[in-house]
Every structure is written in structure tokens, then in C-alpha cells.
Structure 1
């Protein structure tokens, strides 16, 4: 804030530099020095230096004068810059002072431009602005060389132009001059007083002629109040010097001459013309002060008076023409007659006019079609918004049948307020914030509803819904009223819906779609593009003036009482705000409405129900037959049963596997979901326990059976590895003429059980098959519960992804699913497919699968799967039983292995740790395998890694003719003895598996003992 009494300092005049004197000593010194040198040296040339003294002295004087001029110019420039800065500061302070004074006493013209902004009603102010002119600013400029210096600047700073000429009406204001000019100024003064004095505390007295507009002001003319505003006019030729009217308080007196004014006016002004007046008497302003008066017309004053009256009536400060009841029931309104509506076959009314409450003039009706087509409702907590919406919907249901109007209710406060309305047959749905997924799909269907209505109008050749009703009196397209409670909360949850609602607002009138949007804070929530089409405005009590102005264009709703629930203001394009007490609606009244419409057919819903929790083939057939679900191949015949795809006559093979039912809310339909491996690429199935992964694999296998061979591998570390290796070899050999499908179930479990070297090798094999399999006729389907570590690259390698129920949204997104479709409460078989919600076909009852015997999520149709037979592995004990067979056994537990092999009849087991050195040396020296009789069984040399490394010569002698067996050894042990870097096939744990390295270099699995159960 700028303080007027803070002095400003003028820049001081800089002192001029002294005039330079003649340098006498500097001139004489060279002469004396030259004489002394001449006397010493006797050289006449030295006398030449004597001339330099006067030259230097003259040069010094000239330089001093030049420096002085430069200093004076710099000082003058600094002083001018200081004056410019000072003028800017003075101008800034004057502008701030002017703004503060106009804020204290707004001008009459500013009140006419914005009556709501000037409304104060503090109850104490009687200062008014006569007009604008020059007043003392209070700014002082100190400093300077004298009072006369910068006098113009001092005078300019001390005067504040275009400031309000303030006068106190409490001391009386007399206006002298022509009566029309005096009345114009008096109207401006009275308007200013009306904006500051509380209506129920002031009495108004005005002349009979020329002041009719003042009757619109919210002041009583008969009661006794604390203060009285009196406007009096002296008749032409009347007596002079009359006293002020009795009992007067605030006086505005008009007279043609100074003598005709009442006695006691503290302020007197003379009107010299429409733009010129002067002060004749004032305790504030000097005599003769000229100013430009604030004049307003009767129309301007009347407009302000009406705004103030509406605001005062809303605030309850003045009595209304008719008392508005504190409450009223919907059944008490004459317009509420359940069952009295236009029936089908009769001419339909294009309006939805219905009574919703009582106002000053009786019942208040709303017509969403005629005054809309859309409405905005504002109101703070506890003002009665939900009750207003319930009453409005019930009132419309009372005058229109379900064939004429339907309601979509959106309640983001839990849905309790709208729950009773669901009994009405008009109600096609209730959307709440309690189920985010259902809310999202229902709201997404609204865009499809617009397209549907456009198609209906297009087929009928109708330009709008009224034209359509005129063509078909029975009608097939009722109006749809979308009622949204807490619109701001809905937009917070679904911000993209604002564009959809803007589209509905723009096209809703012709399509028969109407919006009723309710919110606590309309400011900043309902954008201008949407608000422009909401021509019906209703506001209950709001917390601030800005919210009231945003809805009604006036701040009157901010003055509604906090204890008046249901009290509102209604505004349309054709009328100003109308006060109304909204009726309350009971449960019984809603039940009566529902009973009256019980015989009406249920209207079409704008969206389908959620996908069923369980879906059988019979259910899917029924949905397709009824048209609820769309099947791109429905024209080819019904969906065949498993195994019937090619065998049934007249049924062409369907392309791909039948997965289940896909939800497409944006198209208001279901669609049969299929997967064609050879055309769509490899598939990744992600889902938690009992989510339906195995059921999905069963469906894929069943659909692929007519096309090619399908092999399913479960969580078997050996079988999955062998399948990947064989598929890679098949591709490297040029592929297969028959299409092949490789299905890997629980791949993450298999991957976790491989050792650290088999994991990257297996992933490299799988990535190569996913990348190159199409060229060789091979497709891969991978199923897993979780994607961790290196498995996170699988979604990018698979062209199709089926994401079933997962426990974490991060895993859902990492698997390729949309975050908006994540739901950890999905039933078995529920998931995401191609960006939509899917429900897989349930397994057939009576067939067991890995997830459970015939239960939900268990692949009951796994019996159709083709599982490759497990290969029969050779038994090491059987090999040892062959005559002349020699085995070199590297064991992690030599004693255990020796005991197992010693049970073979006739076999000879040599424990390298227990045999004598001479016997081993004899064999090593022979350099050949042992020669045994034909009837004798084989010989096995058993030792751990250290023992074989100690007997390296024996190993070298026997290795070319004997099988090398690794029992309970690690990859490091295998490589230390075999001297090979390639990976042997992985071994399943706890099954007695061993590696057998043949002399020809091939490695295969074998068993040393029966597998552990």
C-alpha cells in the first residue's frame, strides 16, 4: 500500500566545479630551471626549454575548462534522470491513490455496468461520489534548492486528477441547477446509497413526479426504520431557505436556485452543464472546485434497482409478493398425477414440462426440452441438490411414459440418493463410483448411443426426434435424459468424458439426448463449450458469488439461507432468476409412479450388462442367435461343438480357435472372440492361479485340430526343452508341410526350475521360434503366471496377448494389458483380449484338468489336447547287465551309485576310491578295455570328479570304448570330465535321471533307479 504522507525527495542541484586559475608557478618553474642549466653548461639551446612553461600553463587551463564542462553535463543528465524517476514514482502513487478512492466510493456509472460487484450492504456508508475531478493528493516533494525550484512538479504531485469528489449525504447534499440535470445527478447518488445501505434498515422518501423508478428499489416507503433517505425538490418559485423535511436523515435536495435549497445542507454543488459542475460549499473540497458529474438515465437506474431487489428478495431482506413455503411435497402439486401421460398410439408432446416446486407466483414448472435442451444445477453440500434431482426425474416420469423418456442416472456419491428411482420403468441404469469398471463401460457406451440414434434417424429420413415421432406415432426412440450428480467428481475419475459430454451437448437436441449436470462448484468445472448449450440454469445455495454468477449470471444464489434446503433460483434465456422451493419426493410417491407405469414395456437400454461370470458354448450360441453377440462368421452356420468343426456336413471350418465372448461397450455389443494362430501370430497367455489359462489352451487346441498338429507341454523341464530343441531343428531343416502348434503351459515355472545356464539358452530357443516360426509353419502359445526377470521380454515377441486375472496392476500392464481394464476380482476365464474385456468359454463339466476337476477355471476340455508321449529312457542298470559292457560312472555320491549298480546280477563294480592302485594301474597299462567272457555282465568304474581326475590315464584308455555316465553331477562336473562346452539336456529333479555320453559324442538321458514318486 502506498502512503500519501511519506515524502518524496527532489534531487539536489549539483554544485558547479570552480573556474580554473592561471598556473603561475608551473609557468615560472621551467624558466628558472632553464637559466640554471644555461649557467652550468653555457649552451644556448637550453634556453629553448624556457618557452615550454607558458605553453604548458595555457594547455592546463584549457584542459581544466573542458573537464568542468563535461562534469556539468553529466551532473545535469543525472539530475534529469532522477526527475524522470521521481515523476514515474509520483504517477504510480497517484494511480494507486485514485484506485483506492474509487474503490471506497464507486461511481454511479461503474455500478450501472456491474451492480453485483458494487453491492456492499454494510449498513454504515453514507459517502457518495458526486463525480470526478482534481483533489489534493497528499503527496509532498521535499528538497530542492528553493521553493520556486520545480514548482510545476510540486503542484502536479500535490494534485490528484480524475479522483472522486466525495460528499457525505448524512450532512445533506444540495444540487442547484436545471431540474433534469439535478435529477440525473440525484439518481446516481441514490443508486450509490442503495448499494451500501441494508434494505431492511432504511426507509425511502422520494418526490411523486419523475422518481417512479425508485419504487423498484428494495426499500420500504411506509415503515419506520433506523435511517431514512429523503429526496426533495424545490418547486419553481418556491420559498427560499425552507428547513429540511421532518425526520430526515440522509438528504438529497434539488433546487433551481441557491436560495430555494433547504437550510442545513453541508454540501452544495451547481450544475453548469452535462459535463461540468462546481462545488459551492463543502467541508472537504475548496470553493469553486470543478468536476465532471456522474449522471445516469432512468433506464439505467431502473435496471440497477431491479437487480438489487432480486438480490434482497433472495436474501430475505424484504418481503416478497407471496410467501414461499419452507417445504412442499411432490404429491401436493397439481401437475403431479401418476398415470396421466400420453399413451402409445397418441400424438406425443415434444416437451417435458413438469411441476417441481412452489415459488412466489405459485407452482414452478421446468421444461427440459423447451428451455434446454440441457441444464446445469449448482449447489453446495446440504443445499438439497440430490432431492432436486430426484424430484425432477419423478416429475418427468409422471408426465411421460417409458416410450417417451428414459433416464440414465449417474451418482458419484455412492448411488444411495438415486436408488429409489431404479424402480421406475423409465430408468435404464444407475452408474455409481462403487464399481469403476462398470461405470467406465457404461459411460463409454454413450458415444455408441449417439451413433445408434443417428442411424435410426437416418434410416427414417427424420431430421430430429420430433420429426421421427411425427412419422411413427408408436415410436421406437424415446428421449434419454442423463442425470449426473457430482459432475466434477465424475470428471476427476474419467477426465476424457468432458469431450464426450460436449459432443452430447452440441448434438443432443436433435437426437433426443438431454443432460442435467449437477456439481458443487460450477466455476472451472463446466467448460464454456458445454455451458453454452445448457440454457436451463438452476442454483441452490452456493458458497461464493463466483459460483452463483457462473450458473445464473447473478450472485443472488450466494445470499440464499443456509437453513433453507431446497430453496433455489431458476433462470432461462428468456427470463431472469425465479425463486422456488423444490418439492420433496417420498418413497411411496415413487412407488405409485412405478405402479402406474407397470404395464408399459421396458425401454431399450443404451448398453449391455457385464459379461457373465461363466460362459458355456450353449450360452454363447444363445447370445449369437438372439443378436446380442456378433459373430463375423455367423452366416456360415452355428458355432460347432468341439470336434465337429470339419466332420459335420454343411458346416465350413471356422478360422481359428473359439475363445469366448468379447465386450465392446463403445459399440454396444458383444463379439465372439477367436484366435487364428497361423494368421495372427504367436500367443502369450498371462494369468494367476485358477484364472483360466489351461481353459484357454484347451480352446486353442480344439480350434487348431482341423488345421494341423498341436502339442501341449506342461511344467516338465525335460519335455519343454526337448520340444524347443526339436522345433528349432525342424525349422533349420526347412520346416514341416503340416502346420504345428506348440503350447507351453506354466512356462515361468519351468523356467525357474532350469539352472542358470539352461535358462538363457531356452529363452534364446523360444525367441527364435517366436521370430522365425511363421516361415516354417510353427506357432507358439506360451502360458505363464508371472513375467519376471528375463521373461519380461516375452510380450514384445508375441503378436497376441491374452491377459487373465492378475494380482497386481503393474504385472497387468507389463503383460500388455491396459491399466483401465485391470480388475483383480475377475472370475475364472475373465481377462483382456485386443484391448477389451473377455470371458473365456468354461470347460465342459466332468473332465478334469490341472486346475481342478471340472471346476471354474479348470480346463475340462483338456481331454481334446494332444499331449506328446513321454520318451522311454534307457536304464543304466539294464545297460550294465549286457555282456562285455563297460560303464564309466562319474557320481556325486560314489558309494550310493556303487551300491545301486552292485545289485545287477553278475556285474562287476570298481570303486576308484576303494580299488588298489596296482589293479587300476594294470588296466591303465593295458590300454584297452577289460576282456570278459561272453556270459559275464559288464563292468562299471565308479568315482567322483576328483577320483577320475586322479585316474586320467584310465579314463583316456577306456573312454573310446565305453559310455560315460554322470549321476548327480553339476554342469561344472560334466564339463570337467567330458571336456565339452555344449549344454547337455536338462534333467528333471528327483527322478533318478543321469546323463550318458556315448563314445560317438552324443548325449542322452537315462535312469539309474526308478523315479521317486
Structure 2
């Protein structure tokens, strides 16, 4: 507690220094004797008696100088005394002016009762309870003035006068208890002054008062603070008669908070209650003493400021008008703690105008009751009061309950043909668990799946276009036009946690601004609910939200943003469902929102009329996980079918699915990228099934893929066309040929380095030159690494299925935002849109691999001799013997067992009989080079398990033989005519 406000910082006043009197001059003895001595010397020298006359003048001059010095000192003393007196007078004036200024400033800052009761007081400038202060009266307080210099009696007297500020406001802190002791009349007058100061400083939200019964306090009955509900602090007045009964939810005088205020009145000090930190004894109208301050003795006498009861006439009414204008009057004492939904709706349905706070709705309106206000059931009309609504409220204030009650009340009053609801809950969806069962509900969007939520919300623009088309076809200007009656139901979009939704999808703000601007005429209404109204929505959106509802919020700024006052910030945290409603320029109303139970929703469901046609949904469901040819055919019938159907495209902004088609002539080569099991092979099968007579389907096979590349290159380079090998062959000209390569990256990884490089050259050449020759490729792969990174640039069309990571998704040219790891097999991106591939119908025949002959069945050599280069000569020789071919009964293992000729190392061509198979490894054949060269012109040469280096070593050829499958006992057969084929080796 303080007696006076903190004195301001004032420059010190410097007092003048008292003058010091000058000393009295002494007799000038030397000046008197020196002329006498000089005259004597001159007389002794000159002998002139005239010189002695001047010697007589020396004492006279000395005496005259002494008299003159004393005269000058006297004049200086008089001048110093006059200057000091002038400076002291100026210092006294400065002290008096400073004291007057301090007194004036102190009274200007003090919350005196006469200022509260005067016209100059602005009661709307409510103060913080922590800064509240009370003026007891006028008396002496320390001034804070500082005087420097001087120490005589006169200056000490001035210092004492400057140290005390007389007639200053005696200010005390009202926290705790103030005890007033003295005659009843003057004590009540001083207490009346203190009450006027407190209610003038603090709003009804910050201060509630409890006053004693009796006529002495009748003037305070009209104060708005008397009807405060759970204010921040209480002022309790005791004395003479006990305090009035506590209101529901209020603490009594003994149970109040430590921060509450209390004023106790008593005739004597002994009658005061214990614990009064400040005690004032009032002896009369002009005499009082501050006995105790902050629990310590004070003994400060002052003149009390008393207020007569006549001076308070009209003060309570003035404060109430000011509180109503500021929106801080809480009439919650007249409202029930809870309101049941069913009785309220029944009462309002029987008499909608009977005491309701909203007029009877028009047939085109959407009026419904949501709670109980000051004058009975309170209804809101989203059409008449809207067209859109903003709802604010912090956690636990009852926002979700308000939305559920509002939706249930509308559903109970209007059928789905008149109103439907799209519910958006970015708190998981639990808030709308009950009302989602209503037939009026066309969908529930939650934050559990961001992509589905964004897709559904993005469809709202298409809903506006649909409604515009319906109105245009009907010739109506808006939804209320009689020509458009019955064609459209009103759609109410209820969004819980609007701020959270915008944080997740900032781009949706512009879309909701568009809905807010065009929604009135199209019958689309927004109910936006948020915990943080400040800064969430821009003015372009809020300008169309004329209906404002605010439950309790955490601060005045949020309350001002919703309802234009801080009334919602003053709602008691223990009153969930307490709400302030403002519509347009109408005064704000306080109500208690009804509580809706699951039984209430079931009653609404039971009472709803049966509808043959369900209400139209504003968006389509996401693409199905499985797209059948029948589903595609139903949509493809609306227009000319594409050459090849890939699946269905999702177009939420158009509220439709579209057929995804591929036209090789127009779209060029197609690159399909996707992880394992994502539907790449299924896509190729679907394409092949649609036009089997002009397509070659090449599976992920090292031999078939190579052969297809070689044949396609040959077809482009000459008129021979595409020969059948490795793939499924269909007779057609190259101008209509389509090659489908499956998992090209996996095939390339299984080839050797030289075959891989050659295959990539063939593939890129076909992609570069195929379009001009009527050849188009569809290439699928899992990863585009190494040399395959150039494929996207060579393929004019790209289909991206699900990939293992977003980085691989970006590597194929798709934006990171479109990556979705949850898409099912067959789902992906096609030309910027979501696609689901069509399941392939059985084509009746599968892949037919090329027939590879056995090396022992080749009869091209007339000598019936077969040469074999084996990686393991002994094993190959044993396998050929086990095969027991009648054409080759003799098997010779070179370098092991000489069975032809006298000596193996002298074996020559003439020693080799018909039906002989010569088997050896590469080194052994090198040693029998002459035999090899002699037989190669007439006998086929088989390579079994030999490397490409062995092939080139023994054939002296640089071209590549066809690649071999890693399993299946494959080998190369080099005929005498130089052609190389694959063969099966036993």
C-alpha cells in the first residue's frame, strides 16, 4: 500500500549561498612611513626645506585611504545582502510553484470521487484491477522535492516547507480490507466515496459488489456491478447490517479471494473485523486520521472526502448505460446453468414468437432456436441474419456443443429438401458423431486424411458452378426466386476449427472468400468456428459474416474480433455454453446454448419425413480401388472412346470422373514408372487386351526384350516388318505397331555391361525414330537410374504410379505435393490428375515364349559333327552322353580320353567321324586350333556356359550374340553360314 503516488523525477532546486562579509582594512603603516623616509633623504641631499612640507602630507594620505577602504567594504556588504535576498525569494517562488504543480498533477491522476461523479469522467475507460486506487481525502504527503546548497536557518525552514506537499490526495491500495471508524453518518459518507471510486474505475466484469441491506445503500442498487456474474474481484461492504446474500456461484465475504476488496464500517476500533490492513478514524467532516497503513502505524491526519447520498443520484444509471455501450454488462444471473434441447424446441415450435429474441422466420429463412436468452428462447436465422456466421470460443467453452445444437435444431425444423449440411471437423471428427446420422448430412470431412479433405473441399467450387447452372436453366436470379423453387436445397458448411483447416490448407482461403461472396444468392452458407479469431480470416471473408456468436475466449482482442466488445472475454470459465450473439448492428444478446444429446438426435431422426431421393452430395467419393471395364464403359459412352483406355481420372473440381485415354499417334511414347506391385504389368495387359492385333507385349525377359528391340530396329531400317520372336505376334503393318516393354530397368540389370549398353542404344533409337515409322513404345520401370534417366525426355507421355519415396517421385518430374504413399495398386498421376488404372480382362492367351531348339537337333551340317565349347567340358560331355542322341552317338572330350586316331594331340579333321560331338573348354580348343578351323566351315559350333570373351576368342567376331537367360541351359550356336542362334544344351 502507498500513501501517495510515486513522486515524479524533478530537477533539484539549488539554494543560493549566503554572502560572506568582507574584512575591515588595517592602518597602512608602511604607506605612511615610506614617504617620510624619502623626504628626509631628499632634504639631506638638496638641503631644501620645501621637501619637508611633503613629508607632513604622508600621514594625512594614509588616514584618508583607510577611511575610503572601510567605506567601499560597507557598500559591497549591502550589495551582497540584496542579491542573496533576491535569489532566496526566487527559490521560494520555485518551491511554491513546484509544490502547486505536484499537487495539481496528483489530483489530476487521482481517482477522486468528485471526478467520478462529474461530467468529465469517461466510465468506458475501465482500469485494470491491479492498478485500482482509492482517495481517502486531502492531507500532507512527501513532496519529493530536492533542495541543494545552503544550510542557514532560513534555508532549513524552506527545506522543511518543500519536503511536505500539503492538501495532496491521500491514496491507498484497496486490496485487503479497509476499516472505517467513527460516527455512522460521516463513516458512511466516506465509504460512499470509496465505492464511487471503485465502480468508476473497474468494469462489471472486473468488480462485483455486495452491499448491506438498508436505505443507506439504496443508491447502489442501480449499479451494473450489482448484477455481475463471476467478476475478477468482489467488493464487500459490512457494517450496521450484514452483507446481502451471495448470488449463485459467488463467494461470501469470508470465502472470498485474497485479492478481493472489503470495506468495514464500525463505531469503534474494537468493533472492526480482524485483518484490516488499513484503518481510518473519521472525527468529523474536516478531520480524519489514517491510523494504520499496510499493517503498520501511520498517524496521518487529513481532511476526508465525503460524498452525500444526493450527489450519487443518477450515477448508477450513467454507469449502466456506459457498460451496455461497452458490452460489459453480464445479465447471466437471469440465465439457467443448463438448457435441455427437446423442451426448448417443443416450446419454440408451439409459439416461435412467444418471448423469443428473434422474430418469426419467413418461409425462405432458416430460423431455429439454439438456447435461452434474457427474454426467453433465442433463435438465429442464418438467411436473415447472415448469410454466414462466425463462431469464436476457446477450448472447453462449448463450441462443438453449439454447432451440434444448431445443426440439430435446423434438422428438426426443415427437411433435407430445404437444408443440407456439410460438416468439417479438424479435431478428428468426434464432435459430429451424432449429427452425421441425420439425413440432412451430405458428408463429414476430417483431418484424419488430409488428401481426402483437400479433395472434398476443392469440390466446393464445382458445387457453386452446379448451382449457377441450375438457376440459369430455371431462369431464376437466386435461390429465393419462385422460378427456382424446389430445385436446390440450402447447403450449410459447418467448419469446426477453421483456423486449423487454413493452417493445413492455406490455399483454401481464397476459395472460402469466393463462397462467402456468392453464397447468399446460391444458397450456400458458412458457419466458421475457431478458437483464435484474430488474424485467422481476412476482411473480405469476415465482411460477409454478419451473424457473430462468441462463447468464452481467452482475451479481449479475440472477443472484439468476433462481437465488437470484450463481453465474451468476461464469461466465467465455469459456464460452458454461455454465448454472446450479435447480428449486424443490433445489440448483443447473451444466451445459454442448449445441450443436445444422442437421444435428441434420435428423436429428430424418428420425426424426419421419409425421403425417396437422398440429398445431392457436393462431391463424389474418391476413385474406387478397383476400376472395372464396365465402370469405364459407362463413362466412355458419353463421348468418342480413346484408342486405349487406361482407367479413370479424378476431377474433384468438376465433381466428376473422366476416362483416361492414351492415343499413341497423338500422345507419342508412354513411360510408366512405379514401384513393385503398383500395377505396371496390369496396365500393359489392359492395353494389349484392347487391340491385340497391333500390339506386341514383351514381358520382363532378357531374351524376349532383346529380340523385340532387334526386330523393331530392323523393321524401322527395312521393309521386312516385325518378325515374331519372344513376344506375342499379331499381323499388322508397322504403321500401327505398339510395343509394350515391361520392367525395362529390371531387364537391363540382368544383362552384362556390353548387352546393357547395346540395349539402351536400341531403346533410345526406337524412342527417337519410332514415331516417324509408325512405331510407338510403352515402357514400364521401377527406377530411372543411370542411362535410363534420359527416358522422360524421349517419352512424350508419362504415367507415374506409387513410388517408394517422394524423392523418386520428384525425380520423374512430378511435384512433391502430389506424392501419396497411400494410393492403392493402380493409383498414380496422369497429366497432373489422380488416376486409377482399369483392371485387364483376360485376353484368352498369355505370353508365348519363342521355341529354342536343342543343340543336338541341328542338322545343318552334312558332316554330322558338332563342336562344343563348354565352361565345364567334363560335365557337358557327360550330359550329352546321357541325352543319348541317335544323331551323335560319339562324344569326345578333348584333352582327356583319345577315342579317335592313334594320338589325341595329332587329331585332325579326317579323324573325326560322322555323328561325333567334340567337347572342350576354350583353352583346349585354342590348343586344337587347326582342328577347330578345319571343322568350323562344315560343323556348327555350340557355346555352353562359355563367356562372351570365350565366344569372341574362338570366333574372332566383335558383334554381340543374343543374350542368354540366366537359367534354362541356354547356349549359342554358330552355324557355318555365320548366323548365331540360341540353343538348349542338355
1:905 aligns with 2:903: no
1:896 aligns with 2:850: no
Question: Given the alignment, which residue of 678, 693, 699 partners 2:665?
Answer: 678
Counterpart secondary structure, 2:417: coil
TM-score (norm 2): 0.67
| Corresponding position of 1:450 | 464
Counterpart secondary structure, 2:753: coil
Question: Given the alignment, which residue of 801, 805, 820 partners 2:798?
Answer: 801
Question: Given the alignment, which residue of 332, 345, 358 partners 2:344?
Answer: 332
- Cα distance per residue 1:648-693 (max 9 Å; x no partner): xxxxxx4411233322111011222222122112223345555443
Q: Quick one: distance in 1 between partners of 2:268 and 2:172?
A: 14
Change (3 A) 1:564 1:806: same
Deviates more, 1:737-746 or 1:834-843: 834-843
Question: Given the alignment, which residue of 124, 129, 132 partners 1:125?
Answer: 132
What pairs up with 1:682-697 in 2 under 5 angstroms?
A: 682-687=669-674, 691-697=678-684
1:943 aligns with 2:920: yes
Shift of 1:721: 0.8
Q: Quick one: distance in 1 between partners of 2:461 and 2:412?
A: 28
1:566 aligns with 2:571: no
- Cα distance per residue 1:364-387 (max 9 Å; x no partner): 111111221111212222222211
| Corresponding position of 2:252 | none
Q: Is the 8 A contact 1:742 1:780 kept in 2?
A: yes
Shift of 1:888: 4.7
Q: Quick one: distance in 1 between partners of 2:455 and 2:684?
A: 28
| Corresponding position of 1:306 | 324
Question: Given the alignment, which residue of 922, 927, 949 partners 1:972?
Answer: 949
Q: Quick one: distance in 2 between partners of 1:545 and 1:803?
A: 52
| Corresponding position of 1:526 | 537
| Corresponding position of 1:428 | 442
Q: Is the 8 A contact 1:412 1:485 kept in 2?
A: yes
- Cα distance per residue 1:839-878 (max 9 Å; x no partner): 333344xxxxxxxxxxxxxxx2364x7x5x6444443323
Q: Quick one: distance in 2 between partners of 1:104 and 1:799?
A: 82
1:663 aligns with 2:650: yes
Shift of 1:907: 4.2
| Corresponding position of 2:430 | 416
1:632 aligns with 2:644: no
Shift of 1:973: 3.2
Shift of 1:506: 1.9
What pairs up with 1:222-301 in 2 under 5 angstroms?
A: 225-226=236-237, 262-264=285-287
- Cα distance per residue 1:245-292 (max 9 Å; x no partner): 99999xxxxxxxxxxx9524899xxxxxxxxxxxxxx9999xxxxxxx
Q: Is the 8 A contact 1:339 1:398 kept in 2?
A: no
Change (3 A) 1:432 1:102: farther
1:439 aligns with 2:473: no
| Corresponding position of 1:66 | none
Shift of 1:609: 2.5
Question: Given the alignment, which residue of 201, 208, 213 partners 1:199?
Answer: 208
Change (3 A) 1:1008 1:761: same
Q: Which has the larger radius of gyration?
A: 2
What pairs up with 1:578-597 in 2 under 5 angstroms?
A: 578-597=589-608
Q: Is the 8 A contact 1:681 1:800 kept in 2?
A: yes
Question: Given the alignment, which residue of 834, 838, 843 partners 1:861?
Answer: 843
1:731 aligns with 2:716: yes
What pairs up with 1:141-540 in 2 under 5 angstroms?
A: 191-192=200-201, 198-201=207-210, 215-216=223-224, 225-226=236-237, 262-264=285-287, 304-306=322-324, 310-311=328-329, 313=331, 320=333, 322-334=334-346, 337=349, 349-466=363-480, 468=481, 470-473=482-485, 475-540=486-551
Change (3 A) 1:337 1:360: closer
Q: Is the 8 A contact 1:339 1:596 kept in 2?
A: no
Deviates more, 1:591-600 or 1:953-962: 953-962
Q: Quick one: distance in 2 between partners of 1:884 and 1:542?
A: 103
Q: Is the 8 A contact 2:874 2:893 kept in 1?
A: no
Q: Quick one: distance in 1 between partners of 2:700 and 2:713?
A: 20
Q: Is the 8 A contact 1:324 1:581 kept in 2?
A: yes
How many residue pairs end up in the alignment?
769
- Cα distance per residue 1:695-741 (max 9 Å; x no partner): 32233224345xx6210111221010111122123223489653110
Structure 1: gaps spanning 5 or more residues: 10-97, 148-157, 173-185, 229-244, 250-260, 268-281, 286-296, 315-319, 342-346, 626-630, 634-653, 845-859, 924-928
Structure 2: gaps spanning 5 or more residues: 1-5, 13-104, 152-161, 181-194, 229-233, 240-264, 270-283, 291-299, 304-314, 354-360, 722-732
Change (3 A) 1:437 1:961: same
Change (3 A) 1:589 1:728: same
| Corresponding position of 1:13 | none
Q: Is the 8 A contact 1:338 1:398 kept in 2?
A: no
Q: Is the 8 A contact 1:686 1:785 kept in 2?
A: yes
Counterpart secondary structure, 1:495: coil
| Corresponding position of 2:553 | 542
Q: Quick one: distance in 2 between partners of 1:284 and 1:947?
A: 132
Q: Quick one: distance in 1 between partners of 2:609 and 2:206?
A: 58
Counterpart secondary structure, 1:767: helix
Q: Is the 8 A contact 2:683 2:840 kept in 1?
A: no
Deviates more, 1:896-905 or 1:765-774: 896-905
Counterpart secondary structure, 2:843: helix
- Cα distance per residue 1:333-378 (max 9 Å; x no partner): 346549999xxxxx97232111110122211111111221111212
Change (3 A) 1:348 1:702: farther
Counterpart secondary structure, 1:431: strand
Q: Is the 8 A contact 2:395 2:531 kept in 1?
A: yes
| Corresponding position of 2:964 | 987
Counterpart secondary structure, 2:430: coil
| Corresponding position of 1:780 | 777
Deviates more, 1:914-923 or 1:686-695: 914-923
Counterpart secondary structure, 1:711: strand
Q: Quick one: distance in 2 between partners of 1:362 and 1:339?
A: 11
| Corresponding position of 2:616 | 604
Q: Is the 8 A contact 1:691 1:828 kept in 2?
A: yes
Q: Quick one: distance in 1 between partners of 2:816 and 2:919?
A: 59
Shift of 1:535: 2.0
Q: Quick one: distance in 1 between partners of 2:123 and 2:831?
A: 59
Q: Quick one: distance in 2 between partners of 1:887 and 1:456?
A: 84
Shift of 1:541: 2.1
Q: Is the 8 A contact 2:969 2:985 kept in 1?
A: yes
Counterpart secondary structure, 2:396: coil
Counterpart secondary structure, 1:401: coil
Q: Is the 8 A contact 1:425 1:598 kept in 2?
A: no
Change (3 A) 1:551 1:110: farther
Q: Is the 8 A contact 2:809 2:815 kept in 1?
A: yes
Shift of 1:512: 1.4
Q: Quick one: distance in 2 between partners of 1:663 and 1:402?
A: 28
Shift of 1:809: 5.0
| Corresponding position of 1:235 | none
Q: Quick one: distance in 1 between partners of 2:431 and 2:868?
A: 81
1:699 aligns with 2:686: yes
Counterpart secondary structure, 1:509: helix
| Corresponding position of 2:695 | 710
Change (3 A) 1:302 1:921: same
| Corresponding position of 2:761 | 764
1:875 aligns with 2:854: yes
Change (3 A) 1:701 1:166: farther
Q: Quick one: distance in 1 between partners of 2:620 and 2:682?
A: 25
Q: Is the 8 A contact 1:398 1:593 kept in 2?
A: yes
